Amino acid sequence: MKTDLMESAWIQFDVSSNTVRYETTLIQFDDSSNTVRYVDELDAFRLHSPSTPTLRNFRNYHHRILIAITDINEENSCAHFESYADNNDTHAKFFLHKYRETGPHHNGIPVLFTLEKDSKNYIMYCTNDNSIHFKVKELPKEIPSSKSKYIFYQKTFSPGQSCICFESSLKQDFYLSFLKENNVQKLILKHCPRGKLDETIKMYSSDPNL
């Protein structure tokens, strides 16, 4: 079987704002079956275009602020919820990047966490053992999979509340939470079955500039 990728493009001119929008879409052609399929129909996460990340602080239900601890060795990196941290601490300011899901899943708003330190871009990711780490990496424009260690689904924790939660796209029903270790509240993934409200996965998001 042979498949070829072609690119389709379109241009949209907005008279009211005097702007031009240019979009491209990959098309996959299978010559064995003479079928055409848009790549957008394939499972993938694509960065919203134009991408405007949101700068945020995050707190847990104890009102402790999330702090990233980066390290040259990724396995030593982690994140804690701290009571002493300041909103404008570099380690407490996260950029939240929105992606769109091209497959028929739509389990929430796909987002990716990054932060900047020493002119480097760090991306937060999870592992199969439920740990959270950071690595120096450029922001991916596309992730060709229905699951990713970098992507989390932002959801409303409970209807009518302003608090949110983040489910891993890599591990279904596993959410960003925390584990107490020697008086430290370490960020982890925690299994939380559907329909069960667990206060440890609840977070509050705020603008560090306000």
Domain spans in the chain, listed from the N-terminal domain onward = 3-41, 45-206
Where do we find the tokens 């500039």? 209
Report pTM. 0.79
Question: 31 falls in which pLDDT band (50, 70, 90)?
Answer: low
- Give pLDDT, residue 97: 97
- Residue from 96, 100, 124, 123 nearest 110 by CA: 100
- Give pLDDT, residue 2: 44
- Give pLDDT, residue 105: 64
CATH topology of domain 45-206: Trefoil (Acidic Fibroblast Growth Factor, subunit A) (2.80.10)
Contacts 24+ apart (CB under 8 A), 3-8: 3/28, 3/29, 3/30, 3/31, 4/28, 4/29, 4/31, 5/29, 5/39
Sequence-ordered list of residues with C-beta below 8 angstroms from that of 125, at least 6 positions apart, any chain: 132, 133, 134, 135, 149, 150
Q: What is the pLDDT of residues 75-124, one digit of tens each?
A: 999 999 999 888 889 999 999 999 999 877 668 999 999 999 999 999 99
- Give pLDDT, residue 159: 86
